[in-house]
Structure 1
Amino acid sequence: MALLFVGIDPNTGDRQSPTVWVDRERRELVLQGWKPTPEIAAECAATEVPGHAKGIPDNEAVIRIPARMVRLIREACDAVEP
């Protein structure tokens, strides 16, 4: 699997690097972001929406992405769509 690098947080420093890739084979976005605070994670886990059970499955994660990366996420969406 070769990921297509789309971009990195334009305000990244030496220690923070939210990043966007595209997995073209699986047609998926791959996002690296910050871990949420315990409060945000708990709120996400406690939220009920139709068709979605409470909690965060072991094979999933909640991440945070800065809004300044919207352009990169749009670019990744364009790259992953046929």
Structure 2
Amino acid sequence: MALHKLGKDPESPEGKSPTVYYDDRTGNYVLQGWRVLDAERLGQMDIPEHETVIEFPKRMMQFFPEVNGGSADA
């Protein structure tokens, strides 16, 4: 498995998060974002035990190849 970094949040302090990765083995995206801990928001979702929830800014959509025409800004 190889994760390919597609882009980091250009507005993130120190460039540490969020980040979009592509997993070439599964064909899925792996997202690094802010952990959602707010009980009210989590209570509105049906989250299985084996899953987690992150918050991901809309401005990061630019890094998905389906949106940007296939280029990566790693």
User: How would you bin the TM-score normalised by the shorter chain?
Assistant: 0.7 to 0.9
* Residue correspondences, number: 68
Looking at CA atoms only, which structure, 1 or 2, has the larger radius of gyration?
A: 1
Structure 2, gaps ≥5 residues long: none
Provide the rounded CA distance (Å) in 1 between the counterparts of 2:31 and 2:48.
Answer: 17
Query: If the length of structure 1 is used for normalisation, what is the TM-score?
Result: 0.69
Kindly report the root-mean-square deviation, in angstroms, between the aligned alpha carbons of the 2 structures.
Answer: 2.2
Structure 1, gaps ≥5 residues long: 45-54
| Identical positions, percent | 37
Pairing 1:1-82 to 2, within 5 Å after superposition: 1-14=1-14, 17-36=17-36, 37-44=38-45, 55-72=46-63, 74-75=64-65, 78=70
- Structure having the higher helix fraction is 1
List structure 1 runs of 4+ shifted beyond 4 angstroms. Answer: 76-79
